[in-house]
A = this chain, B = another copy of it.
Amino acid sequence: MINIAVLGHGVVGSGVVEVLEKNSQSIGQKAGEQINLKYILDLRDFPESPYRDKFVKDFEIIANDPEIKVVVEVMGGVSPAFEFASRCLSSGKSIVTSNKELVAAKGDVLLALAKENNANFLFEASVAGGIPIIRPISQCLAANEVFEISGILNGTTNFILAKMIKDGMEFSEALSLAQQLGYAEKNPAADIEGHDACRKICILASLAFGYHVYPDEVYTEGITKITLEDVRCAELFGGAIKLIASVKRNNDGTVFIVTAPMIVSFDSQLAHIDGVYNAVLVRGDAIGDVVFSGRGAGKLPTASAVVGDVIDSVKHLKARKYLYWDKSKTGYVRDINEDIASFYVRAKASDSTKAIAGIKEIFGEVQIVLEENGEIVFKTSVNTVGETYENLKKLEQNGCEILSRIRFFDIGAEQ
């Protein structure tokens, strides 16, 4: 019998307890050992809980109990999760976490600690909730050179965008609905500003390409400025606006990494991922494009991913799972302005004819798809992001107001 502890009894934590209890017999069979939940750490009281005897408020009880072999960290936030996880790993206890903030901020340190102490640090649930993705990527990586990972990694923003696209809701209205349904928090900044998706692509980038990438190294743009006009224009270009988080490895070993709304062609599977679903596209040399999709969040999907890792860490108590990346290095994440892309631009001008002449002068060959009510919609040709931004500035100096500019997502469309 293996004793485990769960740190935190919020949504995910109580889900983990529920899944462990409900499927305890089959989980025991799969792990090869019965799994016993010995402690639940939470500062609150749960007098009605059937597990009330297991609650403790002092982390030291867990840290100092040699019987505890695996600790599930589902508290969220970097502190004290980091200190608790470090203490556990240092004494050879394996850690399973769903905490993307922790992994994105401290993954390299915790993986190194796990390695030193022959323990596991597993975090399948930190990216894309219940979709198995960390392990399939490790597997894709085994016999492939993976050179790009892109995905829809935040269900809340995907729900909001889908409501705008399919039901013609305004952003604010869709956000309110998401909050009513419990998909968005009262303070939705982490989701709608792209920070949550950014943390997850940092984790996938670190895993796939071997060096830790910190969220503050990533150009991140949210969806708060997307309007229904943008949604309609994206359709004119044969695509849908999605919040895409993407990392690409360059031939020199550096990476471009970005989180931003992008226009995704209807030819790409990612354009058809709706509602609170997530999807991750992995592109490798031998394998081509592989897409994994499913519910990216929610109590039970996330809990099931956590429990899957618990089973795995129990099976690998002696033989550590190989999961590792190095510390970050200078110059590894390249300036996103050096990346190349093409953009959709919506501009407003009092004199359309003059404005179009200006656009052609500044951007060279462009595809103008709409011109009405003083608004001009066009697609820039492929150029560096930096130069495109410079050109947009010139256009403003020329008397045009730039209402929107959204990058085209260029992969996954090869079907």
Contact residues, A27-78 vs B (CB, 8 A): 27, 30, 32
Contact (Cβ within 8 A) A311 B130 = no
Contact residues, A232-290 vs B (CB, 8 A): 267, 269, 272-275, 277, 284-290
| Bound: A132/B252 CA distance, A | 28
Is A376 at the interface (CB under 8 A from chain B)?
no
Is A292 at the interface (CB under 8 A from chain B)?
yes
Contact (Cβ within 8 A) A143 B304 = yes
- Smallest CB gap from A294: residue in B: B290
Contact (Cβ within 8 A) B292 A288 = no
Q: Which residues on B sit within 8 Å (CB–CB) of A27?
A: 142-143
How close is A130's CB to chain B, nearest CB, in angstroms? 4
**Chain A interface residue count: which class?**
35 or more
Contact (Cβ within 8 A) B287 A294 = yes
Is A357 at the interface (CB under 8 A from chain B)?
no
Is A187 at the interface (CB under 8 A from chain B)?
no
| Bound: A319/B320 CA distance, A | 12
Contact (Cβ within 8 A) A273 B277 = no
Contact (Cβ within 8 A) A289 B294 = yes
Is A215 at the interface (CB under 8 A from chain B)?
no
Contact (Cβ within 8 A) B294 A291 = yes
Contact (Cβ within 8 A) B294 A145 = no
Contact (Cβ within 8 A) B286 A143 = no
The 6 closest A-B pairs by CB, nearest first: A290-B294, A143-B307, A286-B304, A286-B300, A130-B287, A143-B304
**Chain A contacts to B: CB under 8 angstroms:** 19, 23, 26-27, 30, 32, 130-132, 135-136, 139-145, 267, 269, 272-275, 277, 284-295, 298, 300-301, 303-308, 310-312, 315, 319, 322, 415
